[in-house]
Amino acid sequence: MGPYQPELEAFPKTKFGNKMRQFNPDWYKPPYSGWLEYNIKDDAAFCLCCYLFKNEFESRGNAGRAFANDGPARLKSHVGEVNSTQNKCFNRMLDFSNQRQSIRASLSNLNEKDKSDYRIRLNASINVVRFILRNGLSFRGHDESEESEYKGFFLELLEFHGNNHSDV
């Protein structure tokens, strides 16, 4: 898994101002190699990790913005400082692709009692989801915070189920 980085014989040229510009495949090399993605249809480069995870850190909704206008300068400024949104997104993408942090790996490290407890909680969640789907109900509430009186069907039913079954 990683960014889509097609190797074309010649990338399309586009006129910006009075200059003809095109994507440079050398940008696939470090330091941009882990996240720079090129879209042939749009003839534009994007940041894969920001596309996937930016909305978790910012609510501006511009994660899909391309580096079309100012190329290398925009690439450098996009990365930013160590604690920038792009670096947070890149680290989230690395964590996502790290199989040692997967659920399967986590479960294999548990003892039998913990595995059994996990299965009981998982089955309770699945049963609640089935009930909600069968009845065409919405999963989420408007406010799911701890202080909220009503958190939505999923959390409310799961809490109800847990209160009535001590093993959950």
Q: Is residue 135 pLDDT above 50, yes or no?
A: yes
Give tens-digit pLDDT for 97-129: 776 666 777 777 788 888 888 889 889 999 999
Other CB atoms within 10 A of residue 124 CB: 17
Other CB atoms within 10 A of residue 157 CB: 19
Percent of the chain with pLDDT over 90: 8
Higher per-residue pLDDT: 64 or 74: 74
pLDDT of residue 101: 67
Ranges of each domain in the chain: 13-97, 103-164
Q: Is residue 65 pLDDT above 50, yes or no?
A: yes
Other CB atoms within 10 A of residue 139 CB: 13
CA distance 67 to 72: 8
Closest CA to 35 of 2, 66, 8: 2
Q: Show Cβ contacts of residue 158 under 8 Å, excluding neighbours closer than 6 positions.
A: 124, 125, 128
**How confident is the model over 33-37, as a mean pLDDT?**
89
Q: Is residue 130 pLDDT above 90, yes or no?
A: yes
Determine the angle formed by the axes of helices 112-134 and 153-164, rounding to 10 degrees. Answer: 130
